Amino acid sequence: MQRTSPRRWLRAAIPATVVVLACMLAACGGSSSSNSGGGRSAGPVTITVWHGQSAGPGTDKLMALVAEFNRTHPGITVNASPGSTGTESILQKVTAALAGGDPPNVAYSFGSNVANISRSPQVVDLTNTVKGAGWGWNGYYPAYRDGVTINGKVVAVPGPGDSLAIIYNKRLFRRAGVPEPRAGWTWDDYRALAKRLTDKGAGVYGAAFQSGGSLDSTWPFWPMVWQRGGEVLSADGKSVGWNDQSGLGGLQFLRGLAQDGSVYADTSPGYPKMLNLFNNGSVAMYEGDPWQLPTIKAARIDYGVAPLPSANGNGTTIVGPDAWFVFRHSAAQDRAAAEFLQWLTAPRQDAEWNAATGNLPSRAASTAQPAWQAYAKATPGLSVFTDGLGSGKVVPRVASYSAISDALGEAIQSAVIKTTGNLEDALHAAADKANSAIATTP
């Protein structure tokens, strides 16, 4: 056989190398060039939206709304995609995109990530935009506005949210012969009821608590702190505001449940186990979110919803609004992004989307919309959650929040999964840890 000459190989190798390099360049720079191109031309503006929702009826509804927006706004084309495998993982995707210098125009985020993302210089300051005519800034619930405001600066548009109330199984209450909870009840009532509802023989726990120590554990704990006069952060923001009776009271309440043996301590990541147990009638009541109601209904549980118990006559609940960020591109694109978000969070669209996902709308006016009314009618107890929105509080948006929550989460864990051990020591240790995290977070 004739040996192939090096020259012939060269002729093959050079184009191959060029193709590989070109592909890599295209992969790195492709989307950014298309983004800026859309802004410069006078024609229609194209914006990219990462909505972070996983597949489901809520996402179908959102895509339908996006299509409606594109139809009714000829100057703007919205390209919406999840951007990540779910809302949990969108923070990683957004930070990676920011580090790479190529974020989308709009991205969705959990409220707990607002402080971290907003530190990026690429985040558009929306203060003047949302307070302009036509936005109805004051129409958003106060907690939702707080949730996207940092030092007086509006860093994002409020997205859907949720709040906490007690979800309970009516059948288990009847069987135990105890009265259903009513507004004005206290955490002591909750503990006493949980004890009476617990039936180890039948495998029933009176209460359940997310005890993994993550953000899901501190989320139902903050109302107990607030109701006892505590805060997440002290007034000067330099230390925690719960290293006192307010934090201790909450821990003691949880330890009480543990000592009574009336609480199912769910240490699995997220909520699934606790919800499954409630849905098969093994848990009588827990601090729940509104988005859980559709699955409870589907499980054919005869459920009721009561406002959170109170301490010292204070029944404050917690509100968790998500957020829509706008990242700086061309001025035309930034304007288009804001216009899209204004439209999406206006009452009709707000009501329609949230009725499909089971989240709470961001404006009080949305609850009067036909779509929300129909959903509320089909979902008993929903109004308890929306009623809490007016007076509910939101955790402060500080970058050290995850670390503060982790520290307190450990104390919460030791209160729920152990029946002995000094709670004051656990609380102080958590506060020390959180304080040093606050001090070292820029």
Instruction: List interacting residues with other proteins (CB under 8 A).
Output: 1, 3, 6, 9-10, 13-14, 16-17, 20-21, 24, 91-92, 95-96, 98-99, 116-117, 119-121, 203, 205, 211-214, 264-265, 267-269, 273, 277, 282, 399, 402-403, 406, 410, 413-414, 417, 442
C-alpha angle 156-159-160 in degrees, rounded to nearest 5: 160
Residue 130: C-alpha distances to residues 48, 111, 339, 397, 439 (Å): 20, 18, 10, 19, 32
Both tokens of 440, joined, read 């070292």
Nearer to other proteins, 8 or 170 (CB): 8
How would you classify the pairing of strands 205-210 and 283-288? parallel
Shortest distance (Å) from residue 145 CB to other proteins: 23
Which CB sits closer to other proteins, 29 or 184?
Answer: 29
Q: Residue 89 CB, nearest distance to other proteins (Å)?
A: 9
For other proteins, which is the closer residue by CB, 32 or 267? 267
Kindly state the smallest distance separating residue 428's Cβ from other proteins, in Å: 16
Q: How far is the CB of 95 from other proteins (least distance, A)?
A: 4
Q: How far is the CB of 351 from other proteins (least distance, A)?
A: 33
CB closer to other proteins, 228 vs 397: 397
Q: Which is nearer to other proteins, 246 or 402 (CB)?
A: 402
CB of 19 to other proteins, least distance (A): 8
Q: How many CA within 13 A on the CB side of residue 317?
A: 25
Both tokens of 320, joined, read 């968790």
Task: Rank residues 266 and 287 by Cβ distance to other proteins and give the closer one.
Answer: 266
Q: What does DSSP assign to residue 139?
A: G
Vertex 99 angle, CA 403 and 216, to 5°: 30
Q: Residue 196 CB, nearest distance to other proteins (Å)?
A: 18
Residues whose CB falls within 8 Å of the CB of residue 356, separated by 6 or more in sequence, listed in order: 57, 58, 60, 61, 62
In angstroms, what is the minimal distance from the CB of 201 to other proteins?
13
Looking at the Cβ atoms of 184 and 261, the one nearer to other proteins is 261
Beta-bridge partners for 306: 166
Rounded to whole angstroms, what are the CA distances from 109 to 117, 133, 142, 155, 358? Answer: 9, 26, 19, 12, 17
In the complex with other proteins, the residue whose CB is nearer, 259 or 267, is 267
Contact 85, 72 (CB under 8 A): no
The CB-of-2 to other proteins minimum distance in angstroms stands at 9
| Residue-wise burial string across 122-158, b where 16 or more C-beta atoms lie within 10 A, e elsewhere | ebbebeebbeeeebebebbbbbbbbbbbbeeebbbbb
Residue 389 or 430 with smaller CB distance to other proteins: 430
Q: Taking each helix axis from N to C terminus, what angle separates 347-357 and 57-72, rounded to the nearest 10 degrees?
A: 160
Q: How near is the Cβ of 94 to other proteins at its closest, in Å?
A: 9
Residue 94: partners with Cβ closer than 8 Å, 6 or more residues away: 50, 83, 103, 107, 109, 117, 325
Q: Given the DSSP bridges, would you call strands 283-288 and 240-241 parallel, antiparallel or unpaired?
A: unpaired
The residue (of 17 and 312) whose beta carbon lies closer to other proteins is 17
The HSE-up count of residue 24 (CA atoms within 13 Å, CB side) is: 5
Tokens of 19: 């193709």
Number of neighbours of residue 259 by Cβ within 10 angstroms = 14
